[in-house]
Amino acid sequence: MEIGIDSFVSTQWTHDSPSGDAKRIAELLEEIEMADKVGLDVYAIGEHHREEYLASAPTILLAAAAARTKNIRLASAVTVLSSDDPIRVYQQFATIDLISNGRAEIMVGRGSFIESYPLFGFDLKDYETLFAEKLDLLLTVRDEINVHWSGTHRAPLKGEGVYPRPVQSPLPVIIGVGGTPQSFARAGALGLPLIVAIIGGEPHRFRPLIDLYREAGRRAGHSPDKLWVGVHVHGFVAETTEKAADILWPEYQRTFNKIGAERGWGPTTRGSFDAQRGPLGALLVGDPETVAAKMLHIDESLGGVKRITMLLNGSTLTHENALRHIELLGTEVKPRVNGLM
């Protein structure tokens, strides 16, 4: 199983000093270097356009990381393709692939927030058609140097060349999804890998949707090795389970209470947080043995997963705690998981 980190690069939200945000970016790059050093498989940065995050331009951060690492794969999590230009997305990730000598991945999705739509001049009524059309263009660009393509949301392409071309052929494109059945079925029909965001409840409830994905891929004639599944989860690893929970709780509470206030959810409680840490819950919080056991449970309950990535944002986590979490994930959790599979 591949094990890695996702980040939206949280800041302290006040932005009272540009030097504070610069320090946070420096810490992020150190954390990615540590992940590479301890043998984690992937580090992914998600695109967000909100005051509490610094990852509005993840490709620039990934390019910086590519120049400072040797083995770890570098991905988005996700690129909000609906409000971006697929040509530019491809060019940027092809460039990262060249810098990293073949370690870039594009994870695309519609995003869990909507800020990018008005910011870049797109209408939310086109939410579904924008993504479907732009995904089609991205896959076309991936397969063709001189692109012939037409759609409804941009001018047609009549054989224009798209450069540079990456080291990897094809450049990996992964679909990031929440809980919409149509998204699972589309990824399967296209034969694209799938990353499922599991941020609450019990992971096994996603099994019917993953089965739908695999069946759609089978019906479309795609080989099973192309139809791999990964999951994105929240969690934290420390020397003891109690320490891991106490470190993560303030970050978790702060994040979900802010989002909850926007979306009409009730306040997040320590009791609900602790319940999610249980054997069947979505949070992977604990000592290395506990987290490894839960990863194996997720693998079994979902019929086999190729990759698990854990969110590490960092606004209330200290840099030292983040580095220790990464170290334990690479040196303690990953060997346990893969030694038992």
In a domain, 299, yes or no: no
**d(Cα 332, Cα 184) in Å, to the nearest integer?**
32
For the chain, helix (H) and strand (E) counts, in that order, are 12, 12
In a domain, 177, yes or no: yes
What pLDDT does 294 receive? 97
**d(Cα 111, Cα 177) in Å, to the nearest integer?**
9
User: What contacts 65, CB < 8 A, 6 or more positions away?
Assistant: 29, 32, 33, 43, 74
In a domain, 96, yes or no: yes
In a domain, 258, yes or no: no
φ, ψ dihedrals at 72, nearest 5°: -70, 140
Q: How many domains does the chain have?
A: 1
Owner of token pair 């991936």:
142
Q: Using alpha carbons, select from 168, 153, 173 the residue that is nearest to residue 84.
A: 153
Q: Using alpha carbons, select from 252, 149, 246, 165 the residue that is nearest to residue 200.
A: 252
pTM of the model: 0.95
What range defines the domain where residue 57 resides?
Answer: 2-209+218-233
pLDDT in tens, 55-96: 999 999 999 999 999 999 999 999 999 999 999 999 999 999
pLDDT in tens, 125-157: 999 999 999 999 999 999 999 999 999 999 999
What pLDDT does 16 receive? 54
What's the farthest any 2 CA atoms get from each other in the chain?
60
Q: Using alpha carbons, select from 230, 233, 235 the residue that is nearest to residue 299.
A: 230
pLDDT in tens, 296-338: 999 999 999 999 999 998 767 889 999 999 999 999 999 999 9
In a domain, 249, yes or no: no
Q: What is the 3-state secondary structure (H, E, C) of 176-221?
A: EECCCHHHHHHHHHHCCCEEEECCCCCHHHHHHHHHHHHHHHHHCC
- What's the CATH code of the domain at 55? 3.20.20.30
Identify the band that residue 118 occupies on the pLDDT scale cut at 50, 70 and 90.
very high
User: What contacts 64, CB < 8 A, 6 or more positions away?
Assistant: 29
In a domain, 138, yes or no: yes
Reply yes or no: is the peptide bond before residue 170 cis, omega within 30 of 0: yes
Helix (H), strand (E) at residue 45:
strand 42-45
Helix (H), strand (E) at residue 28:
helix 18-37
